[in-house]
Amino acid sequence: MTLSLESYGDPTKDTIVFLHGLGVSSWMWAPQIEALKSDFHCITIDMPGNGESYQVAWNSFADTGAHVVAIIRERASGGQAHLVGLSLGGYVALAILRDHPDVVKSVLISGVSARPLENPLLMKAMIRILGPLNRYDFMVNLNSKLMSLPDDARELMRRDSKRLPTDVLIRAYDEVLAHKVPNELAKRSQPLLAVAGDAEVKAILETLADYPTLMPNARAYRVPKAHHAWNGEHPQLFTDMINAWVSGKPLPSALQPVANA
């Protein structure tokens, strides 16, 4: 079974592939797609177990990356793409850069830890207890508020949350908790931009500075007054960041370089 995807803009222009966070789907990129599709070829993909791909089995970051790579080879301009991933999508983007660097022009990730998270056993227990609650409206409303979602997007999140298999949530989080930047990325020459909102969880903020030390062409920035899913919280800034990054222009001045980065 193939993944659900949408293609926007002129397929002969530079391709940007957008990879969403866990428990949502490609609708989260609507503001960015609307603004960028006239200048770039944009592809959004619902990853296994999520959105319209909820019936596709989730196996791992690497397996999901292989699905995405097949789409890039077939659909992207010149068989290569700039990858933009938030949260789960960012982890998958790093797996693609590790395993299939030939399809990657650049990588932009947000909300991705460079090291394994602390207290993994406690976190795993919490996910197994709280994970099934994501299907209930009160949890959807809480998460929607945290993400600053408008009412129409809240309904889309409710739909996705109710379809997300609990085992996908658990297995994806297990891999997130153990994640560290792969050693192979030290050999990759593609540019990488790692960002996180300054209201992001401590574990992610503290590892931002790791990226430039572990990868030859990596940069790291904090985003002021921003939480985990800040592409919806500050859509114009997120869009301007993507546009500047992919175009090779100076990044928005609102982004704050991480010390020693």
Nearest to 256 by CA among 231, 222, 206: 222
d(CA 87, CA 187): 23
How many structural domains is the chain composed of? 1
Write out pLDDT tens, residues 91-114: 999 999 999 999 999 999 999 999
d(CA 189, CA 218): 9
246 inside domain:
yes
Q: How confident is the model at residue 133 (pLDDT cuts 50, 70, 90)?
A: low
170 inside domain:
no
d(CA 68, CA 73): 9
Q: What is the CATH number of the domain that holds 206?
A: 3.40.50.1820
* 11, 41 Cβ separation under 8 angstroms: yes
Please determine, for residue 149, whether its predicted confidence score (pLDDT) is greater than 80: no
Nearest to 167 by CA among 203, 134, 139: 134
245 inside domain:
yes
Residue keyed to tokens 């960012």: 90
| pTM across the whole model | 0.92
Per-residue model confidence (pLDDT) at position 122: 66
